[in-house]
């Protein structure tokens, strides 16, 4: 099955199905936006999304110091201002206050990314955000698959739905990390720049320095470090050091949120949330997460160090890194699972190059589809199984990496 030619009837049918899935996402998201504006016009609660939160940040930056993003009361008022801008001056004060508050948890470098949004009307800003952040995401998958399957493969992933629905950041993180890993062999300095740019949302990049160092990719490591430092300096020049002091002072507050139920565990797919929703204590959930983090660091270090002797395994090693990333950190939401898509593309490339058993393909499809259902499943059952699908993909990649022959066909090589 995976060895079919790209233009075979089966391949055409698969692409059509994937495009139809993406069209379904677009139709549903459009209907939700329409319904949200209709509800606002009727005096009911509008449909707020995570992007309303991002737009509020950009509005605040036009009139106030950037460090006010990290002051909850001030930022809460800015979110209400964003609601009025989004849904019009006729929105009542009660409707604006119905927006759910969420603290600003991004580093000051991310402020540079969102600042221009306030110069656009709300819907135009939302569409621009989705379109611009999707560029590196689509480019990453295209650089891995290199055929007409790339775009529908990327756009039909459940993480695409989540990022379209809520205007989130998953495209940006997955795209920059995917592009960086895809360029490691041919353009190491460019790879490092992409990886460094991904530091604007750093938590999914926890394992990247481990992989680069263990794999001996020192030019990329250096370029990534310099790019990260350049972004930090740019943010300090533009906004001063106060946002850095504010965000560092907020870390304990963010961590405490896990213990007091400050986060939506239904949509959180980390090991921590799995243990917590299964009835584990605060101590148990942190112990499990610390064990998972240490295990992923050790696993990635071993896989990438061992891969020094076999550069042709870079694709599968990159897949392992992408699958390990969401298991290594405590706060991972469904939209963050866009990071799985580059890994899945490398794994699928290996399927096509070397063939795959039916159970491997079935496991792959089920694990990739799982993020579409984990929220509702958790809501109905009280059990969060998001991490289970990620573990299944990681196990597939490790199995195929361990069974890799001395020479892999060129189509399976990432770079």
With a cut of 50, say whether residue 411 has pLDDT above it.
no
With a cut of 70, say whether residue 158 has pLDDT above it.
yes
pLDDT of residue 251: 83
**Separation CA 355–CA 22 (nearest Å):** 27
- 333 three-state secondary structure: strand
Are the C-beta atoms of residues 215 and 317 closer than 8 Å to each other? yes
pLDDT of residue 179: 97
Q: Average pLDDT of 200-222?
A: 96
Q: Average pLDDT of 119-134?
A: 96
Are the C-beta atoms of residues 384 and 269 closer than 8 Å to each other? yes
pLDDT of residue 3: 42
Domain boundaries along the sequence of the chain: 9-412
Residues 297-316 have pLDDT tens digits of 999 999 999 999 899 999 99
> How much is the mean pLDDT over the chain?
92
Query: 72-87 and 122-145 helices cross at what angle (nearest 10)?
Result: 100
pLDDT of residue 63: 92
pLDDT band of 260, cuts 50, 70, 90: confident
pLDDT of residue 414: 37
Q: pTM for this one?
A: 0.92
- State residue 333 phi and psi, 5-degree precision: -100, 170
How many residues are there in the chain? 415
Count each helix (H run) and each strand (E run) in the chain, helices first: 21, 0
With a cut of 90, say whether residue 224 has pLDDT above it.
yes
pLDDT of residue 413: 36
pLDDT band of 2, cuts 50, 70, 90: very low
As a whole number of Å, the end-to-end CA separation of the chain is 24
Q: Average pLDDT of 70-99?
A: 91
Residues 315-362 have pLDDT tens digits of 999 999 999 999 999 999 999 999 999 999 999 999 999 999 999 999
pLDDT band of 291, cuts 50, 70, 90: very high
Core vs surface per residue 109-130: b (16+ CB within 10 A) or e? bbbbbbbebbeeebeebbeebb
pLDDT of residue 259: 80
Look-up: residue for tokens 């064990």?
A: 291
With a cut of 70, say whether residue 253 has pLDDT above it.
yes
pLDDT band of 193, cuts 50, 70, 90: very high
Q: Average pLDDT of 49-77?
A: 94
Q: Average pLDDT of 404-411?
A: 44
Q: Give percent of the chain above pLDDT 70.
A: 96
pLDDT band of 405, cuts 50, 70, 90: low
- 116 three-state secondary structure: helix
Residues 101-116 have pLDDT tens digits of 888 999 999 999 999 9
């Amino acid at each position: 099955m995976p060895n079919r030619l790209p233009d075979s009837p089966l391949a055409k049918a698969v692409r059509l199905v994937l495009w139809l899935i993406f069209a379904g996402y677009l139709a549903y998201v459009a209907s939700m936006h329409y319904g949200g504006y209709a509800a606002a016009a009727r005096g009911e609660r509008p449909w707020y999304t995570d992007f309303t939160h991002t737009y509020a940040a950009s509005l605040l930056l036009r009139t106030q110091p950037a460090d006010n993003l990290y002051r909850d009361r001030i930022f809460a008022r800015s979110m209400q201002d964003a609601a009025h801008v989004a849904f019009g001056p006729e929105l009542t004060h009660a409707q604006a206050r119905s927006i759910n508050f969420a603290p600003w948890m991004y580093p000051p470098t991310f402020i540079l990314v969102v600042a221009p949004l306030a110069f656009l009307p709300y819907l135009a800003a939302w569409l621009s955000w989705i379109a611009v952040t999707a560029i590196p995401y689509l480019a990453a998958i295209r650089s891995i698959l290199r055929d007409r399957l790339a775009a529908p493969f990327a756009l039909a992933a459940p993480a695409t739905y989540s990022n379209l629905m809520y205007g989130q950041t998953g495209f940006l993180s997955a795209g920059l990390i995917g592009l960086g890993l895809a360029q490691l062999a041919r353009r190491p300095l460019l790879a490092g720049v992409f990886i460094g740019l991904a530091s604007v949302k750093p938590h999914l990049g926890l394992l990247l320095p481990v992989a680069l160092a263990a794999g001996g990719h020192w030019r990329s490591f250096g370029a990534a470090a310099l790019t990260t430092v350049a972004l930090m300096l740019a943010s300090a020049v533009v906004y001063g050091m106060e946002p850095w002091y504010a965000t560092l002072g907020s870390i304990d507050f963010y961590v405490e949120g896990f213990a007091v139920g400050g986060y939506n565990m239904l949509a959180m797919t980390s090991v921590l949330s799995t243990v917590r929703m299964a009835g584990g204590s605060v101590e148990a959930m942190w112990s499990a997460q610390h064990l998972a983090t240490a295990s992923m660091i050790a696993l990635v270090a071993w896989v990438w160090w061992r891969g020094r002797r076999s550069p042709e395994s870079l694709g599968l090693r990159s897949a392992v890194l992408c699958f390990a990333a969401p298991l290594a950190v405590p706060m991972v939401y469904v939209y963050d699972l866009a990071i799985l898509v580059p890994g899945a593309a490398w794994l699928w490339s290996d399927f096509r190059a070397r063939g795959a058993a039916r159970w491997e393909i079935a496991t792959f499809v089920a694990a990739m589809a799982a993020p579409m259902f984990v929220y509702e499943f958790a809501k109905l059952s009280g059990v969060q199984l998001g991490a289970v699908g990620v573990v299944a993909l990681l196990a597939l990649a490790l199995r195929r990496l361990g069974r890799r022959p001395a020479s892999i066909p060129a189509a399976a090589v990432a770079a």
